[in-house]
């Protein structure tokens, strides 16, 4: 009875929406990454593992260099490297992209623990490493507006970066040469090749970009609010991004909305942990809602296709 009340209360808190943006950030970055690789014609299943490795590398490098930015760069570079390994196997050696992705995820989940143990002697988390965090940023003027300031200001720098990147990715596909080439290569590689576009090179670039964005997502996870790496900390966010990417259908802005839907669920789940809803139901909710949203989206697309043909036939 008061579960409903509790949800209403939660939804009226500005902090809730702040947390929504926070939770959405890694998924948003990864969604953008997934979108770029998918539009270039390769589905990047290795995002989950890429994010995990980047999170790990960020923590380790920042701890040893005592520079948060160096850690961040290392995380991004790790994302770049992993996606290039995937690219090499898929594009050069013609491996199945899905299975190679699964292999890299396996590698990431075991490999990070393996190295973590080498460094710290522990397998669970990097608590003993003095790793650093990236800063949060207050936005002048906006921070002073009531409610809106509480929701939009004071976020982690990567949250703002993610929001800016939404525009960048949208712009890239719409207006830049690279964006055009990525679309062409993904949609009809033969056509792209016939006009002198280097198909392989464009695909490598697209996968690299997806790795870089996912690397940022990994850095956010371990160097954002938590400030440590724990094994399996990505918790399926790389897979969630596959669903949000599919819902976005190539549109970065829709991708942002889908990621915010996840952020919304995740944030709600966090707020309701103290309620009397069983904890596990709260934990499974983001996944369930995303799978429902994704399926509904697919059903809608299918429905529209059929309607179009029916209409054409009736016209006849």
- Ranges within 162-181 binding other proteins (CB under 8 A): 175-178, 180-181
Phi, psi of 277 (to 5 degrees): -75, 135
Query: Whole-number minimum distance, CB 143 to other proteins, in Å?
Result: 32
If binding is defined by CB under 8 A, does position 124 make contact with other proteins? no
Q: Which of 59, 183, 222, 228 binds other proteins (CB under 8 A)?
A: 183
Which two structure tokens, joined as six digits, stand for 64?
Answer: 């040893």
Query: Whole-number minimum distance, CB 264 to other proteins, in Å?
Result: 16
Nearer of residues 71 and 179 to other proteins, judged by Cβ? 179
Write down how long the chain is: 316
The residue behind tokens 């995002």 is: 47
| DSSP three-state, residue 125 | strand
State how far the Cα of 252 lies from the Cα of 241, in Å rounded to an integer. Answer: 12
Q: Which of 293, 286, 292 is closest to 24 using CA atoms?
A: 286
If binding is defined by CB under 8 A, does position 81 make contact with other proteins? no
Query: Whole-number minimum distance, CB 165 to other proteins, in Å?
Result: 15
Q: Which of 98, 142, 164, 167 binds other proteins (CB under 8 A)?
A: 98
Which two structure tokens, joined as six digits, stand for 178?
Answer: 């690279």
Query: Whole-number minimum distance, CB 81 to other proteins, in Å?
Result: 14
Query: Taking a C-beta distance cutoff of 8 angstroms, is the pair 248, 254 a contact?
Result: yes
Query: Whole-number minimum distance, CB 56 to other proteins, in Å?
Result: 13
Which two structure tokens, joined as six digits, stand for 91?
Answer: 């594009």
If binding is defined by CB under 8 A, does position 316 make contact with other proteins? yes
Taking residues 6 to 35 in sequence order and writing x for each that binds other proteins by CB under 8 A, - otherwise, the string is ------------------------------
Q: Which of 8, 21, 6, 4 is closest to 261 using CA atoms?
A: 21
If binding is defined by CB under 8 A, does position 103 make contact with other proteins? yes
Residue range at the interface with other proteins (CB under 8 A); choices 14-22, 114-122, 159-167, 203-211: 114-122
If binding is defined by CB under 8 A, does position 239 make contact with other proteins? yes
Nearer of residues 139 and 178 to other proteins, judged by Cβ? 178
β-sheet bridge partners, residue 136: 156
Q: Which of 45, 17, 93 is closest to 211 using CA atoms?
A: 45
Q: Which of 152, 192, 219, 223 binds other proteins (CB under 8 A)?
A: 192
If binding is defined by CB under 8 A, does position 278 make contact with other proteins? yes
If binding is defined by CB under 8 A, does position 45 make contact with other proteins? yes
Query: Whole-number minimum distance, CB 83 to other proteins, in Å?
Result: 14
Query: Taking a C-beta distance cutoff of 8 angstroms, is the pair 108, 50 a contact?
Result: yes
| DSSP three-state, residue 111 | helix
Q: Which of 102, 139, 163, 249 binds other proteins (CB under 8 A)?
A: 102
Which residues within the stretch 284-303 sit at the binding site for other proteins (CB under 8 A)?
A: 284, 287-288, 290-291, 294-295, 298-299, 301-302
Q: Which of 188, 201, 225, 253 binds other proteins (CB under 8 A)?
A: 188
Which are the contacts of 240, defined by CB distance < 8 A and separation ≥ 6? 27, 30, 262, 286, 287, 290
Query: Taking a C-beta distance cutoff of 8 angstroms, is the pair 308, 56 a contact?
Result: no
If binding is defined by CB under 8 A, does position 217 make contact with other proteins? no
State how far the Cα of 245 lies from the Cα of 48, in Å rounded to an integer. Answer: 14
């Amino acid at each position: 009875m008061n579960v409903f009340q509790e949800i209403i209360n939660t939804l009226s808190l500005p902090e809730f929406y702040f947390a929504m943006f926070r939770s959405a950030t890694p998924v948003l970055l990864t969604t953008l990454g997934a979108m770029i690789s998918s539009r270039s014609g390769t589905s990047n299943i290795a995002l989950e593992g890429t994010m995990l490795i980047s999170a790990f590398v960020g923590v380790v490098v920042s701890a040893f260099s005592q520079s948060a930015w160096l850690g961040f760069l290392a995380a991004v570079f790790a994302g770049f490297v992993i996606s290039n390994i995937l690219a090499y196997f898929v594009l050069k050696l013609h491996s199945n992209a899905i299975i190679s992705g699964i292999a890299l995820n396996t590698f990431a989940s075991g490999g990070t623990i393996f190295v973590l143990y080498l460094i710290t002697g522990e397998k669970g988390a990097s608590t003993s490493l003095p790793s650093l965090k990236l800063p949060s940023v207050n936005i002048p003027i906006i921070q002073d507006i009531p409610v809106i300031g509480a929701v939009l200001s004071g976020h982690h720098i990567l949250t703002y970066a993610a929001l800016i990147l939404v525009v960048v990715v949208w712009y890239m596909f719409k207006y830049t040469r690279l964006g055009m080439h990525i679309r062409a290569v993904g949609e009809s590689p033969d056509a792209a090749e016939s006009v002198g576009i280097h198909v392989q090179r464009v695909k490598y670039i697209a996968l690299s970009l997806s790795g870089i964005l996912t690397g940022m997502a990994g850095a956010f996870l371990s160097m954002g609010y938590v400030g440590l790496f724990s094994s399996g900390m990505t918790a399926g966010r790389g897979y969630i991004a596959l669903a949000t990417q599919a819902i976005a259908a190539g549109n970065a802005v829709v991708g942002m909305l889908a990621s915010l839907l996840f952020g919304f669920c995740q944030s709600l789940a966090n707020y309701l942990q103290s309620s009397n809803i069983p904890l596990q139901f709260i934990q499974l909710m983001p996944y369930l809602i995303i799978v429902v949203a994704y399926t509904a989206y697919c059903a809608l697309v299918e429905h529209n296709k059929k309607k179009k043909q029916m209409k054409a036939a009736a016209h006849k």
